[in-house]
Structure 1
């Protein structure tokens, strides 16, 4: 493999990893606050993609407005999910929350299958997102540049919220002790809703970018993507926002590079993300940037 091909694969991996990173941030934030692996998170990504499809194809809205509406409604869906499914179980054993999360995942998948049908639908990608240009024999598309740029911008925004705002301070305090936060006069349930809203909004952005690059929407699209994003969060260090982004890039690079070096293994590309996860957990169980969560979170 020559250097040009290698750099081209790095560009592709960076774009793919950015989409995993956007979804992984939601996993790690919810886990940091509630110690909950929200397995319905990948399906929120699917909801965001379907909303974008509906606003563009059916209602004929411009792409930027459709994306904004999809993100806002996905954030609202995250809040509603927390209020209905998770809030009543705040004091229940963690296994109850985990089973509920799996139930919500199945509910969303089957609900969209019933109402939208199980047949994949072509996503109407704006023409300007498909524009391609070449620099030094390296091919770029507008989406391959936009996705990493938006991911890094949103990462900076999330870190700003966490470390430079009162709500961020409340989120970090909540991740240590919910009862103490309540005693200090902070509405813990409201802060948890904010966490779900932020995570769901990022998942929606990731979902829309996903269907821009792989233009097909269907109810089960969030299952494997969500699992890979969860693997990314664990690889980077579950509970670390920066680690989730790093893990997303690593998983994306792993998939692309494996296919580039060993094309005959292309059918097994999905397995390599989880093989890499196993190796990371063997040598560093807390993940690459993970720390003892009793000492540091986010």
Structure 2
């Protein structure tokens, strides 16, 4: 039963990583940039939900919607102010800007909410007992896994069937050709940031519900691990981000349980290195030769 308990914990954690990784992979797939401020948007989502429930007394579902809305607006504003002027700039300039935005958000949170950790009230409590109580699955873990599956299916359907989704795929292939075909590239990229940031808001609520300590640096390590998961599964691939997140969560949970809590992060990144040495494009990624 201990193994099943650790496995369920890993799947739940991996589902959070997968939701965050889906935001990363959406932005990279369309805009071809790494938004390292994504993890800090997760933190903002957690704080907005915390304030809505504890200071305003709003129900959990309303706090989730509010966190999504604030994170969506924040993502669009960041894209418009920090990234849009750098459309034709070298990738290094965009990367440095993303790191700057990340530190800005962390320090803004420090000024607004202070460095003192906040105790987050989970959006759902209790657990499901199985095998006569020998195995208990927290309801928040079930909710996290279900939310991850729904989000992945919805994103896949959105990018495959909707007009905006097809525009995103066109921009991903060739922004210049997409613009010549009448697609508004700037609006498409802004929509991508809006979707990715909304997912970050959901991830922030689910992460804090599973690990109820909220600080200005809460999103930093999960953001890095989710980026690792996106690369692990094949960055730019929605199923790849989902698979990478789940596998990363399971590996981390098993490493903490059976090897060492202190070495768990090292083991996670070591597995990533081995996978990339064998398959540089990731598990579900595809190698695209550069045309000259």
TM range (shorter): over 0.9
Cα distance, 1:221–1:254 mapped onto 2, change above 3 Å:
same
1:180 Cα offset (Å): 1.5
For the Cα contact (< 8 Å) 1:75–1:200, is it kept in 2?
A: yes
Which of these residues, 257, 269, 275, is aligned with residue 274 of structure 1? 269
User: Equivalents in 1 of 2:252, 2:196: separation in Å?
Assistant: 24
Which of these residues, 271, 276, 281, is aligned with residue 286 of structure 1? 281
For the Cα contact (< 8 Å) 1:239–1:293, is it kept in 2?
A: no
1:260 Cα offset (Å): 2.0
Cα root mean square deviation, aligned:
1.2
Gap runs ≥5 in structure 2: none
1:133 Cα offset (Å): 2.4
Gap runs ≥5 in structure 1: none
In the alignment, structure 1 residue 190 sits paired with structure 2 residue 187: yes
Cα distance, 1:293–1:190 mapped onto 2, change above 3 Å:
farther
1:276 Cα offset (Å): 1.1
Residue aligning to 1:30: 27
Residue aligning to 1:251: 248
For the Cα contact (< 8 Å) 2:255–2:263, is it kept in 1?
A: no
Which of these residues, 18, 24, 28, is aligned with residue 15 of structure 2? 18
- Provide the aligned length of Structure 1 versus Structure 2: 288
Residue aligning to 1:235: 232
1:122 Cα offset (Å): 0.8
For the Cα contact (< 8 Å) 1:25–1:241, is it kept in 2?
A: yes
Superposition misfits of 4+ residues, deviation over 6 angstroms: none
Q: Secondary structure at the match of 2:144?
A: helix
1:141 Cα offset (Å): 1.0
Give TM-score, length-normalised by structure 2. 0.96
Residue aligning to 1:99: 96
Residue aligning to 1:133: 128
Give TM-score, length-normalised by structure 1. 0.94
